[in-house]
Amino acid sequence: MATVESEIAPPITGEIVEQHGLSPEEYERVLHALGREPNLVELGIFSVMWSEHCSYKSSRLHLKKLPTEAPWVICGPGENAGVIDIGDGQAAIFKMESHNHPSYIEPYQGAATGVGGILRDVFTMGARPVANANALRFGRPEHPKMQHLVKGVVAGIGGYGNCVGVPTVCGETNFHPAYDGNILVNAMTVGVADADRIFYSAATGVGNPIVYVGSKTGRDGIHGATMASADFEEDADAKRPTVQVGDPFTEKLLIEACLELMATDAIVAIQDMGAAGLTSSSVEMATNGKAGIRLDMDKVPCREEGMTPYEMMLSESQERMLMVLKPGREAEAEAIFRKWELDFAVIGEVTDTRHMVLEFGGEVVCDIPLGPLAADAPEYDRPYLSKEEYKAWAQVKPLTEVPESTDIGADLLKLMASPALASRRWIAEQYDSQVGADTLQTGGNAGVVRVHGTKKALAITTDCTPRYVYADPYEGGKQAIAEAYRNLCAVGARPLAVTNCLNFANPQRPEIMSQFVHALEGMGEACRALDFPIVSGNVSLYNESKATGGGSAILPTPAIGGVGIIEDYSRMMTMGFKARKQPLWIVGSFTLATSLGQSLWLDTVRDLSGGEPPAVDLEAEYRTGKFILEMINSGKVTAVHDVSDGGMAVAAAEMMLASGIGVEIMLEDADPTDGTCAAAHFGEDQGRYLVTTDGAVPLRQLADEAGVAATMIGETGFEFHGRPGFLCESTDKFVSLADLREAHESFFRDWMEG
């Protein structure tokens, strides 16, 4: 096929194919699909659409096994975001995405455009974004690049989200050497829409105009999807041109313009230009609508001179959307977008050919059947280890001799001062959590935002414990879902649905693929048991770096975003103690912990790693969560906090820090346990909550009736010579609130300001 593009492009060689991330076998599939050699434009399009980032070729087989349905699920995986019914004719729309590689290369823009991209996924479906969240993983604080990366990522998230006017209400930030050369930046957005006004991406109606809106196309982000689908080499900085550049002020205009047009009936389909830009948006729209698409590349708004169709199709310039309009509605739509000072151009039409056809300079520069690009893209059943084989490979050391604590108070201070548990206030203060005036809670078990104009509120959490997943992917996958479930229950929200961001290393390594497969198995089992379906998500593979000296894989990190509903936000629960002299209870499947396997105490205090991660009893999780919700809704508890990293002592300390009220821990009257004193205080056994009540509430009796364990372990209000603090009665160890707060605040303050 003689084309404008082929005249200026080099012939397709094996080296060029390799540069585009296609294997020889995949290139043979391209030749078969076309019945000829591709030109450079066509090769580039196959390259991005068959990348891991866009095609999910190593993960699709296993993702199909996840539970995605429930009576309240309006739209599950496959669209831009998941949609759930939240009552009163309203829907919550949400998704989590990764921007890992770009954030390592250029932390500010990488993180900022990650936020921008996930916002577009949500408002594309007709929702007004109401909350952002994130899940961040960094390497060792002492790593020479890490302070720069943390500062850049946090500034990027805050800089974009704050300008757009969407509050950041929750998140998690963790540190581990496995992320030294490959940090993780996972961004989540939640929006609200009318349930009967949801917009989808299926292009239909032969002859309907295809419209480009938003910012102009530049050369930033070309091959971003391909870059995100490969290991990092030593020359990571050389990939800087593949990182997109965002403009939050344009994004804000785009949100308002899209929502204004959505209030009419002019839109047939809409899709944001995310990974692979114009290529993925047009292919997905045509594929979903079982149609074809013709684009005139001369009409694409460009901000740089001499851009080729190859560059236009692969650019990942930000703040752009693609729409299919009803015929004759172009002028109406254009007026809206011009009012908001955005580009608007009719660049093509829907066809019935099931082909993508691109024209440039009056000639056809691309003609590809859509089937091979999307639905028939490669799908691999990668080899993976059995659970037993993986255990042998991981070589997780058993805890043959369980150590004991010599000083509960000193251990608590050390834990609270560690990077794992230190106050994230330095981070949180850079995010606007109150814009929109609907934020009800941050910094607790979950973020909570009011559904504007109603008594309802949405609770949002992000959770994962990668060290558990590494030690036992199946149990770790279960635990990630269960912790999200607990965090939502702890604020009084009924858990509804999950989004995820599945961050793993190279799937071509059987041990890594084993992590992925078994983690998904555990996640799926937990979602079914807890009636907590997965409605959207993202897979990020090849998260490992040669830049750190060879094959450094991240810990398996299936980050979970959970969303729940509070029917009346006046019943929302917080974790801070409310008064002195209130009994402190531990509620859950096991009252006192018996295991220190994979615990933070073991790692931080004893500098040891080993043991099995705590098992997750899903039936008990469901039963206990239901009981906690009943107690909150009936007003029988005054504070609730789930027990997770650091165990019971850390959870109690966090409740104390949130309130300024001391606490005395009295375990002598607690249920018998075979564990050590260290395990009782710092063990991370699952399915447990700390709650307070007033003295008249018969919590043990109520728990017994519900088939749930409840044990009184202390009382609020302890003071020593007028100083509130934490007292462990069994060891007579006292830690003042002032010392605890100083330890808790010290890490980020000293690291960032020192």
For residue 430, which of 150, 147, 659, 186 has the smallest C-alpha distance? 150
Kindly give, in sequence order, each residue whose CB lies less than 8 Å from that of residue 616, ignoring residues fewer than 6 positions away. 475, 478, 479, 482, 526, 686, 687
110 CB-side CA count, 13 A: 32
* Angle at alpha carbon of residue 404, lines to 399 and 405, rounded to 5°: 135
d(CA 201, CA 332): 20
> Do 562 and 495 touch, CB atoms closer than 8 A?
yes
> Across-strand partners of 364?
359
Residues 531-550 as b/e (b if ≥16 CB within 10 A, e otherwise) read: bbbbbbbbbbbbbbbebbee
d(CA 500, CA 536): 7
> Do 706 and 625 touch, CB atoms closer than 8 A?
no
How many beta carbons lie within 10 A of that of residue 237, not counting itself?
Answer: 10
> Do 45 and 366 touch, CB atoms closer than 8 A?
yes
- Listing DSSP states for 512-553 in one string gives HHHHHHHHHHHHHHHHHHHT--EEEEEEE---EESTTSS-EE
Amino acid at 250: T
Q: Please tell me which residue in 20, 62, 99, 101 is annotated as part of the active site.
A: 99
Residues 57-95 as b/e (b if ≥16 CB within 10 A, e otherwise) read: bbbeebbeebbbebebbbbbbebbbbbbbbeeebbbbbb
Residue 176 appears among annotated catalytic residues = no
Reduce the DSSP state of residue 590 to 3 states and report it.
coil
155 CB-side CA count, 13 A: 10
Reduce the DSSP state of residue 144 to 3 states and report it.
coil
Strands (DSSP E) contained in 541-679 are: 544-545, 552-553, 557-566, 583-588, 639-642, 663-665
d(CA 231, CA 228): 8
DSSP label at residue 438: -
Q: Please tell me which residue in 53, 101, 681, 744 is annotated as part of the active site.
A: 53
d(CA 748, CA 418): 10
Kindly give, in sequence order, each residue whose CB lies less than 8 Å from that of residue 630, ignoring residues fewer than 6 positions away. 706
Residue 99 appears among annotated catalytic residues = yes
* Angle at alpha carbon of residue 141, lines to 646 and 678, rounded to 5°: 20
Would you state the structure tokens that stand for residue 349, as one six-digit string? 């039409």
Would you state the structure tokens that stand for residue 79, as one six-digit string? 């669209």
> Do 241 and 220 touch, CB atoms closer than 8 A?
yes
Reduce the DSSP state of residue 187 to 3 states and report it.
strand
Match 């909350």 to its residue by tokens.
131
Strands (DSSP E) contained in 273-409 are: 292-296, 320-325, 343-351, 355-360, 363-369
What DSSP element (H or E) covers 462? strand 457-463
> Directed axis angle between helix 387-394 and helix 510-530, to 10°?
120
d(CA 148, CA 155): 11
Would you state the structure tokens that stand for residue 486, as one six-digit string? 């607990």
Reduce the DSSP state of residue 507 to 3 states and report it.
coil
For residue 284, which of 54, 517, 573 has the smallest C-alpha distance? 54
d(CA 422, CA 740): 10
What residues are labeled active site?
Answer: 53, 99
